[in-house]
Chains A and B, each alone.
Chain A
């Protein structure tokens, strides 16, 4: 489903990713771990097409398409989703209207607000979000936890083929962590979604069980393995890897 080959990425004239190779198949959960500044978020942003990250070499194939030729919105519509580490606040845009807009966009339909409300209510119940949440403006004044739930609600609405979760776990208490993980697992079961988890900590891996763990350091993947690799990291830190 996703094939990254020899990917090199620059930002501010500095090479951040120095030849990444990664393949993610349908319904697999991959975890990318690494110290600060290793290029984790750069990979996430590059996959989604952030204009400040410039691909200098390599290729990304997603669902047989050359991802690098697609704009961010086209990537989204072809089934790629990024849960942001720091989602933007958009004042004046109500969550209901926003979610309905992106739902209609994704599915090329024009659902009425009443019809959409049924869908929305179902998704909200998965995350245990209360009704009054939806009349608020998108992410405006949200706590860290609320923002992450909002990201997950958008993921449930978009039903992507591959979700990239960029530090979904940061700033979440254990209950919130369980809840957002449930949303991920729900789509894994119902739609065979694939997942790329980007994280510093292994805590989230108790709830989203990985098939593969990759360690990134200085812009290259230095080691890949199964879940046991994450446990190893938890005990030893990143220092033993890649030097």
Chain B
């Protein structure tokens, strides 16, 4: 498809999205912040103890090793303190969270099989529509469980597996023996331990050797219940020479009580494979989003994390690539958007272990209305990584005097042949630029929105079209009333 054609569709979609947005007088509360009456078939008691962990495992009728694993992880979780760096975690009360809520008895293969209020929720979020239009497969998670899933038949025939992690654990135990908890061990951090203890839902993806999946596989994570904790666990294996793109979106109702989202995502990209993982996180502003994402990237393989953090009260997330094979390449493109009451502590980690490995991090953050965004990144080059190359580009845009942006880059270079570039800029939207755009008829809000959209354009153009449109639309909305 030519560049022009793409642009045309882009603009057309953008327009459609805008007019759709106008129809529902869109803002977060109305568009995403609604909830349906909670009607669980099972819910653990408030708080976390051994019994809760056991109950989750029993509900799932898991193999006994998984229960052992969970219980061990629970002990690790109890022992580890909250990290003292990053954001303020002191307000999280682990005893005031529900750790497991089963919304329905089974996963639907057709939307008709999904209970009405859950189905209506996803319809309001546009999930089935997206599925019909441009996805290869989808998983929809509602609180703790996957409630709907589909995968194109042709992909099933090629051996692609895309299912809930719980289901995969039963059907394909050998993958779990080999990979589960190997990229991110339970001890890695307090939240990987928590997830390992109470995980539920999430996606399992296997792309067989040489299979190239053209359309994205998508997961949509929705928290519905109040004081809910969502702990999905995703395991992805891209076998040799395969290619695929996985996209996830997340939203939640607006409650005045806190929710916790703490996922673990492990990705194994085998020799010469290429995998892209895109996240558009738009949790409501009462969600703590504490996620561990890591990929093991083998010889000649490419891993790309595209990470958009728009929502949540606090996000702490640093997608990582362990570049273990020669010439492996890792990339993180991230956008953080911190508005009132939000702290986005996001970044990336690139660990160069094999020779001739390369990595790139591009981080763009926007802070406004008192929001705070922090870039926290690490580049490590071990002794064994001859001729590693890494490039970090870190740009912050601060829209007003009450907002804040920080950069915490760490480099551990143990091999003198490494080439590391780091560039960081902090900018404000200059009066001259706003005046220039306003002199062409744009209001101050529109002018700001245009500058912000332009600022993140290098990352937005990497997003699937629907998300790109959505992101730009969100930013336009956010700009409304941002000028005092």
Residues of A within 8 A of B (CB): 48-52, 71-73, 75-77, 81-82, 84, 87-88, 90-94, 96-98, 100-102, 105-106, 110, 112-114, 135, 137-138, 154, 158
Give, as a whole number of angstroms, the nearest-CB distance from B438 to chain A. Answer: 4
Contact of B436 among A51, A75, A77, A88 (CB under 8 A): A88
Bound Cα distance from A137 to B451, whole angstroms? 11
Q: Give 1 or 0 for each of B437-453: 1 = CB within 8 Å of chain A CB.
A: 11111111011001101
Residues of B within 8 A of A (CB): 3, 7-8, 11-12, 15, 430-433, 435-444, 446-447, 450-451, 453-458
Give, as a whole number of angstroms, the nearest-CB distance from A132 to chain B. Answer: 10
Residues B441 and A105 in contact, CB atoms below 8 Å apart: yes
Most buried by B among A50, A72, A76, A102: A72
Give, as a whole number of angstroms, the nearest-CB distance from A108 to chain B. Answer: 10
Residues A92 and B435 in contact, CB atoms below 8 Å apart: no
Give, as a whole number of angstroms, the nearest-CB distance from A239 to chain B. Answer: 33
Question: Are A135 and B433 CB-contacts (below 8 A) given A76-B438, A92-B458?
Answer: no
Most buried by B among A100, A101, A110: A101
Bound Cα distance from A92 to B362, whole angstroms? 15
Question: Are A73 and B432 CB-contacts (below 8 A) given A91-B454, A97-B11, A113-B11?
Answer: no
Give, as a whole number of angstroms, the nearest-CB distance from A173 to chain B. Answer: 24
Question: Are A90 and B454 CB-contacts (below 8 A) given A102-B441, A106-B441?
Answer: yes
Give, as a whole number of angstroms, the nearest-CB distance from A233 to chain B. Answer: 29
Interchain Cβ contacts under 8 Å between A and B, 8 examples: A49-B435, A73-B444, A75-B439, A92-B457, A105-B440, A112-B15, A114-B8, A158-B441
Across the A-B interface, give the 3 residue pairs with the lowest CB-CB distance, nearest first: A92-B454, A92-B457, A72-B438
Contact of A110 among B15, B433, B453, B456 (CB under 8 A): B15
Residues of chain A contacted by B437 (CB below 8 angstroms): 88, 90
Bound Cα distance from A137 to B447, whole angstroms? 15
Main secondary structure of the interface of B (DSSP, over half): helix
Across chains A and B, the number of contacting residue pairs, with CB separation under 8 Å, is 90
Give, as a whole number of angstroms, the nearest-CB distance from A121 to chain B. Answer: 13
Residues of chain A contacted by B456 (CB below 8 angstroms): 92
Residues of chain A contacted by B438 (CB below 8 angstroms): 49, 71-73, 76
Question: Are A113 and B3 CB-contacts (below 8 A) given A73-B442, A76-B439?
Answer: no
Residues of chain A contacted by B450 (CB below 8 angstroms): 90, 93, 98, 101
Give, as a whole number of angstroms, the nearest-CB distance from B446 to chain A. Answer: 8
What is the chain B residue whose CB lies nearest that of A103? B441
What is the chain A residue whose CB lies nearest that of B443? A73
Bound Cα distance from A154 to B11, whole angstroms? 20
Bound Cα distance from A49 to B434, whole angstroms? 12
Residues of chain A contacted by B436 (CB below 8 angstroms): 84, 87-88, 90
Residues B451 and A90 in contact, CB atoms below 8 Å apart: yes
What is the chain B residue whose CB lies nearest that of A94? B7
Bound Cα distance from A96 to B11, whole angstroms? 10
Contact of A101 among B435, B442, B451 (CB under 8 A): B442
Residues of chain A contacted by B7 (CB below 8 angstroms): 94, 96, 113, 135
Give, as a whole number of angstroms, the nearest-CB distance from A51 to chain B. Answer: 6
Residues of chain A contacted by B457 (CB below 8 angstroms): 91-93
Q: Knowing that A77-B441, A88-B430 touch, tell me 12 more A-B residue pairs with CB under 8 angstroms.
A: A49-B435, A49-B439, A73-B441, A88-B433, A92-B454, A94-B7, A96-B7, A105-B440, A110-B15, A113-B12, A114-B8, A135-B3
Residues of chain A contacted by B447 (CB below 8 angstroms): 73
Bound Cα distance from A114 to B15, whole angstroms? 13
Bound Cα distance from A10 to B447, whole angstroms? 26
Give, as a whole number of angstroms, the nearest-CB distance from A150 to chain B. Answer: 11
Residues of chain B contacted by A51 (CB below 8 angstroms): 431, 435
Question: Are A50 and B435 CB-contacts (below 8 A) given A90-B454, A93-B454, A112-B12?
Answer: yes
What is the chain A residue whose CB lies nearest that of B364? A92
Give, as a whole number of angstroms, the nearest-CB distance from B455 to chain A. Answer: 6
Contact of A105 among B3, B442, B451 (CB under 8 A): B442
Bound Cα distance from A154 to B458, whole angstroms? 24
Residues of chain B contacted by A73 (CB below 8 angstroms): 438-444, 446-447
What is the chain A residue whose CB lies nearest that of B435? A50
Residues of chain A contacted by B433 (CB below 8 angstroms): 88, 90
Residues of chain A contacted by B3 (CB below 8 angstroms): 135
Bound Cα distance from A235 to B137, whole angstroms? 77
Most buried by A among B3, B430, B451, B456: B451
What is the chain A residue whose CB lies nearest that of B455? A92
Most buried by A among B433, B438, B450: B438
What is the chain B residue whose CB lies nearest that of A82? B439
Bound Cα distance from A238 to B475, whole angstroms? 51
Bound Cα distance from A94 to B458, whole angstroms? 12
What is the chain A residue whose CB lies nearest that of B430? A88
Residues of chain B contacted by A49 (CB below 8 angstroms): 435, 438-439
Question: Are A76 and B435 CB-contacts (below 8 A) given A91-B454, A92-B454?
Answer: no
Residues of chain A contacted by B446 (CB below 8 angstroms): 73
What is the chain A residue whose CB lies nearest that of B9? A113
What is the chain A residue whose CB lies nearest that of B450? A93
Bound Cα distance from A81 to B438, whole angstroms? 11
Residues B453 and A72 in contact, CB atoms below 8 Å apart: no
Most buried by B among A49, A112, A113: A113
Residues of chain A contacted by B458 (CB below 8 angstroms): 92
Residues of chain B contacted by A110 (CB below 8 angstroms): 15
Residues B440 and A154 in contact, CB atoms below 8 Å apart: yes
Residues A72 and B435 in contact, CB atoms below 8 Å apart: yes
Bound Cα distance from A48 to B437, whole angstroms? 11
Give, as a whole number of angstroms, the nearest-CB distance from B211 to chain A. Answer: 34
Give, as a whole number of angstroms, the nearest-CB distance from A60 to chain B. Answer: 15
Bound Cα distance from A52 to B440, whole angstroms? 18
What is the chain A residue whose CB lies nearest that of B436? A88
Residues A72 and B454 in contact, CB atoms below 8 Å apart: no
Bound Cα distance from A97 to B446, whole angstroms? 13
Residues of chain B contacted by A112 (CB below 8 angstroms): 11-12, 15
Give, as a whole number of angstroms, the nearest-CB distance from B434 to chain A. Answer: 9
Residues of chain A contacted by B454 (CB below 8 angstroms): 90-93, 137-138
Bound Cα distance from A137 to B392, whole angstroms? 23
Give, as a whole number of angstroms, the nearest-CB distance from A3 to chain B. Answer: 21
Residues of chain B contacted by A87 (CB below 8 angstroms): 436
Residues B442 and A93 in contact, CB atoms below 8 Å apart: no
Residues of chain B contacted by A90 (CB below 8 angstroms): 433, 436-437, 450-451, 454
Residues of chain B contacted by A106 (CB below 8 angstroms): 441
Bound Cα distance from A62 to B442, whole angstroms? 19
